[in-house]
Amino acid sequence: MNKKIKVLFVCLGNICRSPSAEAIFRGYVEKKGFGKIFEIDSAGTSGYHQGEPADARMRRHASKRGYKLTSLSRKFEPDTDFDHFDMIVAMDRDNLHDLKQMARSKEDEKKLYLMTDFSTEFDYNYVPDPYYGGDQGFELVIDLLEDASSGLFSHLKP
């Protein structure tokens, strides 16, 4: 049996960007018929919203494009997540910086990526935090994540 490809998406609160990345990337790989070979999850560098569902505004915007955000917020756990996942994909540079600080070894650091590294159409070098903004910010998050999900899938060539 083939080993699963395990991908963890990480943002600050795990209620806007990373739960969306989780649902959008899962939708993409399922559409391509590769759902069974991936394990996909998300987490936050903070525990501010631990146990909460995704932000209602994010869920509403995602649902308009056919994505159901079902995950509950959890905090990134260095001692288990660095061992378990093959790729840990941060939404912005602060998230990436915080993850680097938590890395226990060079091997851990090698698992870290920035989601926009996989963008193909958009020229953003991070996924902006939509939490304190309006509708456009949530729409942009989904645009960037849809684009980078296809790029990430191509990068992995499962």
Establish if 16 lies at the interface with ligand 4NP (CB under 6 A).
yes
DSSP for 77-113, please give it. Answer: -HHHHHHH-SEEEESSHHHHHHHHHH--SHHHHTTEE
Establish if 90 lies at the interface with ligand 4NP (CB under 6 A).
no
> Which CB, 13 or 27, lies closer to ligand 4NP?
13
- Which position's Cβ is nearest ligand 4NP? 13
Told to judge if 17 belongs to the known catalytic residues of this protein, a careful annotator would answer: yes
* Residue range at the interface with ligand 4NP (CB under 6 A); choices 10-18, 61-69, 112-120, 146-154: 10-18
Within residues 133-152, the interface with ligand 4NP by CB under 6 A covers none
> Which CB, 36 or 144, lies closer to ligand 4NP?
144
Establish if 52 lies at the interface with ligand 4NP (CB under 6 A).
no
Establish if 88 lies at the interface with ligand 4NP (CB under 6 A).
no
- Please give the residue ranges that form the binding site for ligand 4NP (CB under 6 A): 11-17, 48, 129, 131
